[in-house]
Structure 1
C-alpha cells in the first residue's frame, strides 16, 4: 500500500448554497492522502439538514481515517472474503447512521433529520463506491460519461417499473423523494460496488442541486472541456446550476486519476498472487 495517494489523484471539492436557500445543507470532505471523498445532502427541519450532513461527513471521515491508518483497504477480510474496504465502509456507515438517528430521536429540533451519502475510496487501482439516496457519482472515461450510482428514489423506481419515461422524469413531482436516507431509521442499507480505475478517468460526485439544474450532456461537455483544470471545472459546474435557477444547494467533488496506484504487498502476498 502506498503511503499517500496525493500524487496519483487530483481532487477538488466545492459546495455552494445556491440562489434560493438561505442555508447550505450539503457537506463535502476529501482526504487526498488516503484517497477517499464523501458528499452528503442533508434534509430535515430548520438547520437540521445541515447538522445531519455535517455529522455524516465528519464522523464517517474520522472513522475511515482511523481504520485505514491501522489496516490497508486492499487487505482481504477473513470473514467475508471481500476487501477490508468493503467491511469497513459498511460498518462505519452503520455507525454514522446510528449517531445521526440517535441525535434526531433525542433532540426535538433535529427530529426527522437525515442525509444522502455518496462516498468513493480509491485504492489498488480500483474504487469502492458506497451510496444512499439520490446524490450521484458519474465517471468520464474517454468520450463516455455515465452515472455509476443509481438513485434510491421514488422517481427512479417509477422509471424502472415503466410508469414514467426517463425523458419525462425532469417534469415529475416526485423528483426529490428518496427511498433511503442516512439517519432516518435505526438501520439503513448501503449500496456498495467496486470498479476498476484507469489513468485519465475523472469521477464526479454531486448533490441533486447540480443534476436537477444541469443536463447530463452539459455536465459532460463542461468536464471534458475543463479536464485540465479541475478547479475551474468545479467552479463552472456550480455557476451553471446557479445560472439555471440554483433552486437547491449544489456540491461537486471531482477526482482525476493521474497515474496507476497499485497496492504495495509483502513477498508472501506477491507469491500467492503469482500462483493464482
Structure 2
C-alpha cells in the first residue's frame, strides 16, 4: 500500500496565535497532530513539544525497527514515546511558571502497509472516508462526550453546548497519561483525516465528507477544509492532516523474487 500525505495549520479568525501543531514523516508513514492549551502562549509550546518529540523519537524507532515490528511491538513503542513526551511537557510546565498548566491534545497515526495503528488523547480526531461514507474513528475524551454517553444531553444540545472544549484527558497535565490505541485495516482508496476541534466545531460531518470526496488533489482538499472552517466563523485554530491510501504495484511471484526480477 502506498500513502500520500498533506498537512495544514491555520490560526483561524479570532485567536491571536496558533496553538496547534502538525507534523508528517512520509518516509515512516507517521502523522501527528496536537492542539495545545494553557498559560501565556504555553499551548503552542506544549503542542510543539509533543509533535517534535514524537516525530523524532518514534520516527527514529520506526526507521530502525518499524518494518519488522508486529502490532504489539508497535503499540508498545507508541505508548513509551507518548509517556516520555508527557513527562517532558509536564516537567517543562513545572520548571517555568509561564508554562504552568499547559497541556495538549494528541492524535497520531502510523500506517504499516494495510494496517493503521491510531492513538489519541483529548478531543482531536481521526476520520476515515471509505466508499463515500465518513466514520469518526476516535472518541473524544471530553466532558461533552461523557454527557452524551450518559444520556444527559442530546446530540442537538451538544452542538450548542458551552462546554464543547472541556477535555477530560490531555498530554502533559499530569505526570502520567493514558493513550487510547486502536488498530484498523486499511483499504485502497481510504482517505484519513486527522484534525483539531477547530475544524469539526466549524464544519459538520456532511461538509467534511463533501470536501474529501471532491475531484481534487490532497493539497486542495486540505486548503478547502481550512477555508471552510474560517468561512463558518473560524473561532479556533484549525489544523488538518490528510493521508490517502493507494494500492501498490502487483506483488511479484516467489520465483521472480528469488531471481531478483
Q: Same fold (TM over 0.5)?
A: yes
Deviation at 1:252, TM superposition (A): 0.4
Task: Identify the residue that residue 204 of structure 1 maps to in structure 2.
Answer: 193
Task: Identify the residue that residue 237 of structure 1 maps to in structure 2.
Answer: 225
Gap regions ≥5 residues in structure 2 = 251-261
Give yes or no for the alignment of 1:59 onto 2:53.
yes
Please list, as runs of the form range in 1=range in 2, the aligned pairs for 1:31-50 lying within 5 A after superposition: 31-50=25-44
Contact 1:238 1:250 in 2 (8 A): yes
Deviating beyond 6 angstroms after TM superposition, the runs of 4 or more aligned structure 1 residues are none
Alignment partner for residue 9 of structure 1, among 3, 10, 34? 3
Report the count of equivalent residues.
252
Task: Identify the residue that residue 204 of structure 2 maps to in structure 1.
Answer: 215
Deviation at 1:157, TM superposition (A): 0.2
1:135-164 residue CA offsets vs partner (Å, 9 max, x unmatched): 000000012101000000000000000001
Task: Identify the residue that residue 146 of structure 1 maps to in structure 2.
Answer: 135
Give yes or no for the alignment of 1:224 onto 2:213.
yes
Deviation at 1:83, TM superposition (A): 2.7
Please list, as runs of the form range in 1=range in 2, the aligned pairs for 1:126-165 lying within 5 A after superposition: 126-165=115-154
Contact 2:30 2:59 in 1 (8 A): no
Give yes or no for the alignment of 1:104 onto 2:93.
yes
Contact 1:53 1:115 in 2 (8 A): yes
TM (normalized to structure 1)? 0.88
Gap regions ≥5 residues in structure 1 = 77-81, 263-276
Contact 1:154 1:174 in 2 (8 A): yes
Contact 2:25 2:31 in 1 (8 A): yes
Deviation at 1:236, TM superposition (A): 0.6
Deviation at 1:196, TM superposition (A): 0.2
Task: Identify the residue that residue 267 of structure 1 maps to in structure 2.
Answer: none
Deviation at 1:173, TM superposition (A): 1.4
Task: Identify the residue that residue 24 of structure 2 maps to in structure 1.
Answer: 30
1:11-33 residue CA offsets vs partner (Å, 9 max, x unmatched): 00000000001100000000111
1:147-204 residue CA offsets vs partner (Å, 9 max, x unmatched): 0000000000000000011232111111000000000000000000100000100000
The alignment partner of 1:83 has SS state of helix
Q: In 2 relative to 1, CA 53–164 (structure 1 residues): closer, same or farther, beyond 3 Å? A: same
TM (normalized to structure 2)? 0.93
- Quick one: distance in 2 between partners of 1:187 and 1:260? 40
Task: Identify the residue that residue 253 of structure 2 maps to in structure 1.
Answer: none
